[in-house]
Structure 1
Amino acid sequence: MPHLALYTFGVLKSPLADPAPLTREFYEIGETVYRKIGQHPGYLARAEAAGGDPGLLFEADWGAWGEFAVPTWYDKGRTVETTALAATLSLWTDLRPALEAVYTGLHREALNRRYDWFERTEHPNYVCWWVSDGVIPTWQEGVSRLEHLHDDGSAPHAFTFHQSFAPER
């Protein structure tokens, strides 16, 4: 049975290493949100770097999730001191549980505050696609599909919750 892959990407207003209160707040809320989402029905897994240092996105070992990648429009830093992004890659049993996890509860509360932390852009901030059972999506695949969504709109290859497609059987 196919599973839903979900890639999210946002450009932060300040680097991850910034000690400012808003950056610390984003991290604190983010850790709680990740714990809650990890307990949500339908959640299967998410990309986590070996070692777990949030500032080492580009250098981290992501295992089966592949080498960390970002969309071509990301033009900020790539070092621990200058990286200013937040990205997730997760796997779900189906569209409905992922939608519910994103748009309810604590994650919804965080979404309501996203412009406190993230820059407003013309680019989509997430993309969904179907993967075969047993397949782990990669960061590069998420980036490719997000860029496809931006360039060509929602399609079976790359879609949103609001313009979704059923998996091919």
Structure 2
Amino acid sequence: MSDYHLAEINIARFRVPIDDPVNAEFIAALDSVNAIADGFDGFVWRLTGQGGDATDIKPYDDPNIAINMSVWRDLDSLAGFTYRNPEHLAIMRRRKEWFDRMELYVVLWWVPAGHIPTVEEGKARLELLRHHGPHAD
């Protein structure tokens, strides 16, 4: 076991309010995709709110911004789920239907094994990347 795990945060801005019928298929897929993530080899943790996903967590002033955070054993585990799982890929292929394009929406960083990052930590990592670009910190 490594002394470090890989944390990630990604944000997305819904084109319309989350409860708009336009987003229904995305919302309907969350439970299934999250269940796959939870059981995926290398999965450690994901941010959840009151409904089992993070859609009720609003860390930004813009209510249309959704947040996702998770921790994985390593990059291969995260990439396996993100880019090789058919259900997750199906959602990713349709993301333009639901979300606006954002300049910066994802950052990865290493955390000590056992550390669960906070939303504030994830937001700070996004801002660090926005202002300083990729770096070893």
TM-score (norm 1): 0.72
C-alpha displacement at 1:25, in angstroms?
A: 0.7
Match in the other structure for 1:108: 89
Runs of 4+ in structure 1 displaced over 6 angstroms?
Answer: none
- Secondary structure in 2 aligned to 1:129? strand
- 1:121-153 Cα shifts (integer Å, max 9, x gaps): 22x221110111221111011111112222222
What is the identity percentage for the equivalent residue pairs of Structure 1 and Structure 2? 31
Does the C-alpha gap of structure 1 residues 108 and 30 become closer, same or farther in structure 2, counting only changes over 3 Å? same
Match in the other structure for 1:131: 111
Counterpart CA distance in 2 for 1:30 and 1:113 is 14
Counterpart CA distance in 2 for 1:148 and 1:54 is 23
Does the C-alpha gap of structure 1 residues 55 and 155 become closer, same or farther in structure 2, counting only changes over 3 Å? closer
Counterpart CA distance in 1 for 2:53 and 2:107 is 25
TM-score (norm 2): 0.87
Does the C-alpha gap of structure 1 residues 95 and 55 become closer, same or farther in structure 2, counting only changes over 3 Å? closer
Matched, 1:119 2:112: no
The structure with more strand, counted as a fraction of residues: 2
Q: Where in structure 2 are the equivalents of 1:73-92 lying within 5 Å?
A: 76=62, 83-92=63-72
Counterpart CA distance in 2 for 1:33 and 1:156 is 31
The structure with more helix, counted as a fraction of residues: 2
Counterpart CA distance in 1 for 2:11 and 2:65 is 7
State which drifts further: 45-54 or 89-98: 45-54
Whether the aligned pair in 2 keeps the contact of 1:17 and 1:55 (CA below 8 Å) is no
Whether the aligned pair in 2 keeps the contact of 1:44 and 1:93 (CA below 8 Å) is yes
Counterpart CA distance in 2 for 1:116 and 1:142 is 25
Counterpart CA distance in 1 for 2:54 and 2:70 is 16
Does the C-alpha gap of structure 1 residues 52 and 108 become closer, same or farther in structure 2, counting only changes over 3 Å? closer
Counterpart CA distance in 1 for 2:51 and 2:128 is 31
Q: Where in structure 2 are the equivalents of 1:40-119 lying within 5 Å?
A: 40-50=40-50, 52=52, 56-58=56-58, 69-70=59-60, 76=62, 83-105=63-85, 106-119=87-100
- CA RMSD of superposed structures (Å): 1.8
Counterpart CA distance in 1 for 2:36 and 2:132 is 33
> Which 5+ residue runs of structure 1 have no aligned equivalent?
59-68, 77-82, 158-169
Does the C-alpha gap of structure 1 residues 47 and 54 become closer, same or farther in structure 2, counting only changes over 3 Å? closer
Counterpart CA distance in 2 for 1:136 and 1:94 is 15
Match in the other structure for 1:31: 31
